[in-house]
Structure 1
Amino acid sequence: MQLSSFAPDPYILILTGAGLLIALVAWLPLALKRLPLSLPIVCIGIGAAIFSLPAVTLRPLPLDYPDFTERFTEFVVIIALMGAGLKLDRPFSWRKWSVTWRLLAITMPIGILAITALGGWMLGLSWVAALLLAASLAPTDPVLASDVQVGPPKTGEEDEVRFGLTSEAGLNDGFAFPFVHLAIALGLATTTGKPWAGQWLLHNVLWEIGAGLIGGWLIGRLFGWLTFHVPADTKLSRTGDGLIAIAATFVSYGVTELIHCYGFLAVFVTALTLRRSHRDHEFNRQMHDITEQVERLAMMVLLLLFGGALVNGLLRPLQLVDVAAAAAILLIIRPIGGLIALAGFKARFSEKITLAFFGIRGVGSFYYLAYGLNHMELTVGERLWAIVGLVALLSILLHGLTVTPVMRQLDRSQGRDPDADDAAPPPSRREPASA
């Protein structure tokens, strides 16, 4: 073979790049553990560098690939929701989850109202576009918030702050969806003139939330029985194969979407129910670990593409007022809404301000905006993507640079050593012969 005819095989390049990406997935979290730097920041930087190369001609702008953007962000979110639900050690109850209800019932509606008003009056958007922007940016993100979430199952890393941020991110994705559908319904009503309120309230709110909760619980019960409670020779926990969590994720999301309810909500409820089936079993750690690995790999691919979109003009449509609005969303609206919700809650002010401040935005916002734009016609799609992209970028930078020192100080204030080795998985638990 002549050297002059040598040309890199794209397949080989893809394999090499995939290997390097997987190596980074395994190594970077360890390297960044004590640094004021987060994995998402590094991923965006790498993506920006790759897509700035002259040889790379792909422009991964979301409006150029609307269906892929919606589906890929959807995939990353549902994996993250399963991981978040499996992490939570705290049993479900209205009283023990009071911090969650405060953030969902008070902080998120405040965010939706405030961002809608900001979009309509300050940014000059139509009220439909402003509402879609608000519905996309009000919920916190379950994907990019791993540094402020609880640790793996049974590691003891579940203080009130980490629990609140994890449970909020798990549930608010489902509860934000009705407002995305409200924006779509209002957008369609302006062109068709058809009534929308009854359909929205009965189907998009009552049915889709109710069926999502019940469907997620039933599927979680089924997988919990198959995993822990069928006769000993065939129970799935004996396989040691944590991939069953991925199976539960896909089945829960697929079945509930087939009956037209909120799959995001169903997946998180499935995860909670599956964990509740045998809360202390070591297999919960195995299910969590495989879910976290898949989530981290998918997240890194998405953030590489996000970095590529940034250097290919994603933020070009921004106006100066949009930058001010993005800062207000992160630094004023979320913190104030969080502190209002936590008024009277029994916690130190340092814990309340941490809960209020770390309202991380990211992949969930990308999904909601992609979904909304794919289901209605808006002429301001590029500007909405620029605003959401800027808010996500600022959130990743702001929260990523502050999360390590803030959470380490929180651990010290609660008597934990942030430099101690990670807790080992719980010891093997022998099952009774009659199980």
Structure 2
Amino acid sequence: MLAISYPLTLLVVGALLLFGSWLPMLLSRFPLSLPMLCLAGGFGLSFTHLVQLPPMPWGNSDLGEKINEIIVVLALMEAGLRIDRRFSIRSWASVWRLLLVSMPLTILALMLLGHYFLGFGWAASLLLATALAPTDPVLAADVQTGPPGSGDDGETRFALTAEAGLNDGLAFPFILLALMMQSGANAFGHWLAVDTVGELAIGTVVGLVVGRSVGLLLFRLPSIKLSNTGEGLAAVGATLLCYAATTMLHGNGFVAVFIAAIMIRVVCPQDAFHVTMAEFAAQVERVLVMLILLILGWGLGSGLLAALTPVGAAVALGLILIIRPVSALIAFRGSRESGLSRRLIGFFGVRGIGTLYYLQYAFNRSVFAERAQIWAVCSLAIAASIFLHGLLTKPAMARADARRARRSSGTREDLLLTEPR
């Protein structure tokens, strides 16, 4: 349980709301990010007596799991609303390369490292690999596309945004596979047919139906369309409605929410209300993220890394510096993307809240002897990603944006939902 007084709780919540609104504007001038400051702040709090948490606050916390789940689905809605490019197999080619080549290669590499170098069982190795393989839609805002309607921001930002929007849903079946392996059940056929293909199909259909229906409610009802209210809360409502409906039907809610966001954009792509919804979802998400990262920072300073070995540290850092970049370069072999774009897409595979959710989901449902080591490796990977990517994002993406601006005459405007501003 969290040992914190009621007045201190109000103080923390008030500070999060205030600084969550003010700090992004201040930090725009520096190579710093809000997640970096929250993680560092939580780490500093671990050396005080203001907050007292269990040594492992995440492993069996239903509340923590639900908070992270909400953060992820809000981020998926926001990411989908940001995308201005029309959907097609060809124009989304970079996304398919990342999802169908880079992510499986990352899972395979991490699973082998977990088993043969860290000494984990196959189930624990798969859990470690799947939790770390997907990029995060929450902490990757600085490398994603701009607000809805701002036009195509180039292949680098588009690929990172769309990848983060879809890979959570595609990775989740492998979390279920790890749990099945840990339980000793021999149900691979059920996992493939029901937990993977069936849930993805249901998520896709529900996302299409809910997204189209919500889009019509928002933009097409004569005289009483919901967008006239200007209430960004509609984004949260659409997110929760879509996710809940999908999970009640035993579908993949992550895929459903992202597809629903894409469909909402398609209904009336030029309406400024998309910006309002995306900004409101981002504001709610930001406050929750600050809270989670403060707690994670506290854990880093209070024993969460105690089980970390040199090999585990090498695996965590190797993911960011070697495995993800190399897998992305392999995925883009034969593509027309520039060398700079390939390197940026490969390097900025941010890890974060999604990893926390996967681990909480798994550890709340099964017992893994390797739990402490998995938490240590994943926590280090998240912290390293937050600081390393946070420091390098602004200069690297500024260079990419400047290069794209010089080549803007070649933009394919027929691929956009809206005209560039």
**Normalised by the shorter chain, which TM-score bucket?**
over 0.9
- Structure with max Cα Rg: 1
Structure-to-structure mapping, 1:319-398, within 5 angstroms: 319-398=309-388
Q: Is the CA contact 1:60–1:306 (under 8 Å) kept in the aligned structure 2?
A: no
- Given candidates 130, 136, 150, the residue that maps to 2:131 is 136
Q: Distance in 1 between matches of 2:238 and 2:347?
A: 33
When the two structures are superposed, what TM-score results if normalisation uses the length of structure 1?
Answer: 0.90
Alpha-carbon shift at residue 295 of structure 1 (Å): 1.1
1:72 alignment counterpart = 67
Partner AA of 1:207 in structure 2: G
C-alpha deviations, 1:87-127, integer Å up to 9, x for none? 11111111111111110000000011110001011111111
Deviation at 1:60, TM superposition (A): 6.8
Asked whether the 8 Å contact 1:184–1:376 carries over to 2, the reply is: yes
Kindly indicate whether the alpha-carbon contact (under 8 Å) linking 1:59 and 1:312 is maintained by their aligned counterparts in 2. no
The aligned runs of 1:282-297 (5 Å cut-off) are: 282-297=272-287
Deviations 1:206-255 (A, max 9, x none): 101110111111111110111111122x2101111111110000001101
1:256 counterpart = 2:285: no
Unpaired runs of 5+ residues, structure 2, are 407-417
Which stretch shows the higher mean deviation, 142-151 or 25-34? Answer: 25-34
How far is 1:64 from its partner?
5.5
Partner-residue secondary structure (3-state), 2:251? coil
Matched-pair identity in % = 43
Cα RMSD of the aligned pairs, angstroms, is 1.8
CA–CA distance in structure 2, aligned partners of residues 231 and 55 of structure 1:
54
The answer to whether residue 90 in structure 2 is matched with residue 95 in structure 1 is yes
Equivalent residues of 2:168, 2:254 under 8 A apart? yes
The partner residue of 2:198 within 195, 202, 207 is 207
1:154 aligns with 2:161: no
AA at the equivalent of 1:201: L
- Match status 1:218 vs 2:209: yes
Residue matched to 1:431 = none
Q: Which amino acid aligns with 2:21?
A: A
Q: How does 1:48-127 map to 2 (within 5 A)?
A: 48-59=43-54, 61-63=56-58, 65-127=60-122
1:229 aligns with 220
How do 1:422-433 residues align onto structure 2 when only pairs under 5 Å count?
none
In 1: Cα distance, 2:8 partner to 2:111 partner:
45
Counterparts of 1:186 and 1:58, CA distance in 2:
31
Q: Is the 8 A contact 1:51 1:58 kept in 2?
A: no
Q: What SS class does the counterpart of residue 53 from structure 1 fall into?
A: coil
* Alignment partners' CA distance in 2, 1:64 and 1:211: 29
Asked if the contact 1:63–1:382 (Cα under 8 Å) also holds between the matched residues in 2, the reply is no
> Which residue number in structure 2 is paired with residue 196 of structure 1?
187
User: 2-side partners of 1:44 and 1:305: how far apart?
Assistant: 8
The reply on whether 1:315 has 2:309 as its aligned counterpart is no
Contact 1:89-1:154 at 8 Å conserved across structures: yes
Please name the residue that 1:272 is paired with.
Answer: 262
Find the aligned partners of 1:123 and 1:58 in 2 and give their Cα distance: 28
Distance 1:128 1:212 in 2: 26
Partner of 1:409: 399
What's the TM-score once normalised by structure 2's chain length?
Answer: 0.93
Q: Which residue number corresponds to residue 409 of structure 2?
A: none
